[in-house]
Amino acid sequence: MQQAILFVVTGPSGSGKGTIMRSIVNNCPEIVKIATYTTRAPRTNEEDGFDYNFITPACFLEKVSSTQIVEYEQVYQDHYYGSPSFDPNTGPDRLMELDYKGMFKYQAIANRLVSIFIAPPSLDEMVERITKRSTEANLTNRINNAVEQMQYARDYDYIIVNVEMERACAEAVAIVCAERARRDRAQRMSVIEAMCRLRT
């Protein structure tokens, strides 16, 4: 049986991780995106159930108490963000957005976890991207969180600096394909060995 891979994507607000994750899903067959939970309102380009599960604070805390949400925090000191309970070692390959704390928690329980950090090209560019979102608030908290997140980038398997979105998406898709090929190497080698035995 194929070993499931959990692909974790982390990046500060304004890094483009949402677009990059959508590109992975569109280009990598049979990967399942796990939608995490948030209590903030959806932005105009976000899809409920794909980008996030958008729920009320009361519903969020109820899911925490019933262990449907296994790790969470108030990332920008306003809205809650949390990830659902699931077994990362069974089923299909999965893709999930987490911060570094969540990545470390799932790293401890996943047999095969591949982590990708998405960074903006500069803090100035990140601030510009954030301020273009008319509904965004707490800019100072978001910048502080970005710096905190980037201090842990060295702990990730891959780092993508999103200077140009198309290239960043292509890099992310290439990482997923390469890690799947690495995982499937033994299975593919057995096919080659069987072909060789037929010639002996």
Question: Residue 150 has what pLDDT?
Answer: 92
Q: Which residues make Cβ contacts (< 8 Å) with residue 11, sequence separation at least 6?
A: 17, 117, 118, 119, 120, 149, 162
In this structure, is residue 106 part of a structural domain? yes
Q: Is residue 53 part of a domain?
A: no
HSE, side-chain direction, 13 A CA sphere, residue 183: 18
64-89 pLDDT tens trace: 999 999 899 887 667 899 999 999 99
Give the whole-number percent of the chain exceeding pLDDT 70.
96
CB 120 within 8 A of CB 162: yes
Tens of pLDDT along 11-53? 988 899 999 999 999 999 899 999 999 999 998 888 999 999 9
Q: With H, G, I as helix, E, B as strand and everything else as coil, classify residue 25.
A: helix
pLDDT at 135: 56
Q: How many folded domains does the chain comprise?
A: 1
Banded pLDDT at 136 (limits 50, 70, 90): low
* Distance of alpha carbon 192 from the chain centroid: 34
Query: For residue 155, is pLDDT > 70?
Result: yes
> Which residues, 6+ apart, have CB-to-CB distance to 64 below 8 Å?
72, 82
What pLDDT shows up at residue 193? Answer: 78
Cα 56 from chain centre: 22
Give the tens place of pLDDT for each residue, 82-128. Answer: 999 999 999 999 999 999 999 999 999 999 999 999 999 998 888 88
Name the residue range of residue 178's domain.
6-34+91-198
Q: Is residue 52 part of a domain?
A: no
Q: Is the dihedral of CA 124, 127, 133, 134 positive or negative?
A: negative
Residue 45 forms part of a structural domain: no
Residue 172 maps to which CATH number? 3.40.50.300
Inside any domain, residue 72: no
